[in-house]
């Protein structure tokens, strides 16, 4: 768990982006923050694991991560045949 990413999410991201990030994208963002490495802020859970944590389909997770990336909150590195790497963008 990345305390740094979780603290940033709670103190900065949620208040600043309250209208743009709610519901499933917010749950996915917290799931990524929860699994991120505290030093590198990179998480690499499977889409299926995130879907299970957020009680939704893998397709909805993919849509939510694309939304988070379009907002600049995460960067997705697609790894062919492996789990994606999700970098939490914290200044």
Q: How do residues 7-23 score in pLDDT, each as one tens digit?
A: 888 888 888 888 888 89
pTM of the prediction? 0.91
3-state secondary structure of 42: strand
The strand pairing partners of 82, in sequence order, are: none
Number of H helices, E strands in the chain: 5, 3
What is the tens place of the pLDDT at every residue in 19-75? 888 899 999 999 999 999 999 999 999 999 999 999 999 999 999 999 999 999 999
């Amino acid at each position: 768990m990345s305390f740094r990413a979780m603290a940033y999410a709670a103190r900065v991201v949620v208040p600043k982006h309250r209208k743009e990030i709610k519901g499933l994208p917010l749950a996915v963002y917290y799931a990524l923050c929860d699994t991120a490495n505290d030093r590198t802020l990179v998480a690499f859970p499977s889409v299926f694991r995130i879907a299970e944590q957020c009680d939704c389909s893998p397709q909805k997770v993919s849509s939510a991560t694309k939304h988070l990336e379009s907002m600049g909150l995460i960067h997705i590195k697609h790894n062919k045949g492996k789990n994606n790497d999700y970098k939490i963008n914290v200044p």
